[in-house]
């Protein structure tokens, strides 16, 4: 079996990111590579490119990584982090256009079943498509 797609959760709040990851672990299990980050380096609300890069590294899978992010800056900083990845990894990281908590659980469930990165993203985005 090929490696499961990894999941990264990026929130402005450490608690939101940590709580979302806890829901994924409890509901889906620990077999899916999972990492999260939230908050700025001073402990306030925000996102940090270095922390996002570390999270991508932490959840890295040869099958790729699907990211779930919250408000604006989380997305732009995540895009910046992806740009800073080694070139051969860049195309294997996607940001899902989905609500952070629901998207993370849905994406992880799909990843657990061995779906490819594109299927994982589509499953998370199916939510917003209604």
Of 78 and 123, which CB lies nearer to other proteins in the complex structure? 123
Total interface residues for other proteins by CB under 8 A: 14
Q: What angle do CA 42, 44, 47 make, to 5 degrees?
A: 90
Q: Cα–Cα distance between 101 and 13 in angstroms, integer?
A: 13
* 105 interacts with other proteins by CB under 8 A: yes
CA 69 to CA 87: how far, in whole Å?
A: 22
- Which residue in 114, 116, 117, 118 binds other proteins (CB under 8 A)? 114
Token pair of 100 as six digits:
């952070």
Structural element, H or E, at residue 126: helix 117-129
Q: Smallest distance, Å, CB 71 to other proteins? A: 23
**Interface pattern 65-104 for other proteins (x via CB under 8 A):** ----------------------------------------
Q: How far is the CB of 4 from other proteins (least distance, A)?
A: 12
Alpha carbons 127 and 103: distance in angstroms, whole number:
7
Residues 6-35 that bind other proteins (CB under 8 A): 26-29
């Amino acid at each position: 079996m090929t490696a499961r797609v990894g999941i990264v959760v990026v929130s402005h709040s450490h608690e939101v990111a940590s709580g979302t990851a806890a829901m994924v672990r409890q509901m889906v299990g620990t077999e899916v590579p999972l990492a999260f980050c939230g908050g700025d380096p001073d402990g306030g609300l925000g996102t940090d490119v270095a922390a996002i890069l570390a999270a991508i590294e932490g959840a890295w899978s040869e099958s790729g990584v699907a990211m779930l992010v919250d408000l604006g800056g989380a997305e732009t900083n995540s895009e910046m982090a992806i740009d800073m990845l080694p070139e051969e990894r860049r195309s294997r990281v996607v940001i899902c256009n989905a609500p952070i908590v629901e998207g993370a659980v849905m994406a992880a469930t799909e990843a657990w079943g061995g779906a490819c990165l594109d299927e994982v993203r589509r499953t998370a985005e199916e939510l917003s498509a209604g």
